[in-house]
Chain A
Amino acid sequence: MRYNGFMIISVEDLTKTYPETKALDHLSFSLKRGEILGFLGSNGAGKTTAIHILLGLLTPTSGNVSVLGLSPLTQRHELSKRINFGSAYANLPSNLKVIENLNIFSGLYNVKNKIDKIASLLELFEIAHLKNRVTGALSSGEKTRLNLAKCLLNDPEVLLLDEPTASLDPEMADKVRSTLKNIQKQRNMSIIYTSHNMPEVEQICDRILFIHQGKKITEGTPDQVIKNFNSLNLEQVFIKIVRSGDIVCPSP
Chain B
Amino acid sequence: MSESLTRIRAMLYRYLCLHKRSLPRTFEIVFWPVMELLVWGFVSVYIQSVSGNTLLTLAASLINAMIFWDLLYRSQQSVSISIIEDIWTQNIVNVLISPLKIWEWLLATFIYGMTKTLLITLILGSIAFGLYHFSLIDKLGFYLIPLMANLLIFGWALGVLTSSLVIRWGHAAEALIWGVPYLIQPVSAIFYPLSILPKWLKPIAMALPSTYVFEGMRAIIQENRMRYDYLWMALGLNLIYFIVAGFVFNFMYLSARNTGRLGRLGMD
> A57–B21 contact, CB under 8 A?
no
A49–B262 Cα distance when bound, in Å, is: 11
A58 touches B262 (CB 8 A): yes
Known contacts: A58-B262, A105-B94, A110-B7. The answer to whether A134 contacts B13 by CB under 8 A is: no
Chain B residues packing against A (C-beta within 8 Å): 3, 6-7, 9-11, 13-14, 17-18, 21-22, 85-86, 89-91, 93-101, 254, 257-260, 262-263, 267
Question: Can you list 23 A-B pairs with a CB-CB distance of less than 8 A?
Answer: A48-B263, A49-B260, A55-B263, A56-B97, A57-B96, A57-B257, A58-B263, A77-B101, A81-B99, A83-B97, A84-B97, A85-B93, A89-B267, A91-B90, A92-B89, A93-B91, A97-B17, A100-B17, A104-B11, A105-B98, A107-B6, A107-B10, A109-B99
A42 contacts which chain B residues (CB < 8 A)? none
* Most chain B Cβ neighbours within 10 Å, of A81, A83, A95: A95
State whether B263 touches A52 (Cβ < 8 A): yes
Residues of B within 8 A of A100 (CB): 13-14, 17, 21
Q: Name the residue on A nearest B98 (C-beta).
A: A108
Q: Is the CB of A96 within 8 A of B21?
A: yes
Instruction: Mark A223-248 against chain B: 1 for CB-CB distance below 8 A, else 0.
Output: 00000000000000000000000000
With both chains docked as a complex, state the minimum distance between the C-beta of A36 and any C-beta of chain B, in angstroms. 20
Instruction: Assess whether A90 is in contact with B93, with CB atoms less than 8 Å apart.
Output: yes
Q: For B262, what are the chain A residues with a Cβ–Cβ distance below 8 Å?
A: 52, 57-58
Contact B3 A110 (CB under 8 A): yes
Within 8 A of B (CB), among A7-49: 16, 18, 23, 48-49
- Taking a contact as CB atoms under 8 Å apart, the answer to whether A104 and B14 are in contact is yes
Residue contact B21 to A134, C-beta cutoff 8 Å? yes
A52 to B, closest residue via Cβ: B263
CB contact between B93 and one of A87, A97, A104 (< 8 Å): that residue: A87
Query: Interface residues, chain A, CB within 8 Å of chain B?
Result: 16, 18, 23, 48-49, 52, 55-59, 77, 80-81, 83-85, 87, 89-97, 100, 103-110, 134, 150
Residue from the set A16, A93, A105, A109 with the largest chain B CB neighbour count within 10 Å: A93
Question: 6 closest A-B pairs (Cβ-Cβ)?
Answer: A107-B10, A52-B263, A57-B263, A108-B98, A93-B89, A91-B90
A72 to B, closest residue via Cβ: B97
* Chain B contacts for A16, CB-based, 8 A: 260
Specify the chain B residue showing the minimal Cβ separation from A61.
B258
On whether A93 and B98 interact (CB within 8 A), knowing A57-B263, A58-B262, A107-B13, the answer reads no
Residue of B with least CB distance to A48 = B263
Given the contacts A89-B267, A93-B86, A100-B17, A108 and B100 also touching, CB distance less than 8 Å: yes
Asked whether, in the complex, the Cβ of A97 is within 8 Å of the Cβ of B10, the reply is no
* Contacting pair A108 B7 (CB below 8 A): yes
**Would you call B257 and A104 a contact (CB within 8 A)?**
no
Question: Given known contacts A52-B263, A96-B21, is B6 in contact with A110 (CB within 8 Å)?
Answer: yes
The smallest beta-carbon distance between A78 and chain B, in angstroms, is 8
Given contacts A107-B6, A108-B7, contact A58 B95 (CB under 8 A): no
The smallest beta-carbon distance between B30 and chain A, in angstroms, is 20
Other-chain residue from B6, B11, B21, B90 in contact with A97 (beta carbon distance below 8 A): B21
CB pair B91 A91 closer than 8 Å: yes
Residues of B within 8 A of A55 (CB): 97, 263
- CB of A62 to closest CB in B, whole Å: 13
Of B7, B89, B94, B263, the residue contacting A107 (CB under 8 A) is B7
Report the minimum CB–CB distance from A7 to chain B (whole Å).
22
| Shortest Cβ gap from A167 to chain B (Å) | 14
Excluding A90-B94, A91-B91, 6 further A-B contacts by CB distance (< 8 Å) are A48-B263, A85-B97, A97-B21, A103-B10, A105-B10, A110-B99
Q: Which residues does chain A contribute within 8 Å of B13, judged by CB atoms?
A: 100, 103-104, 107
| A58 engages B99 (CB within 8 Å) | no
Q: Inside 8 A of A52's CB, which chain B residues have their CB?
A: 260, 262-263
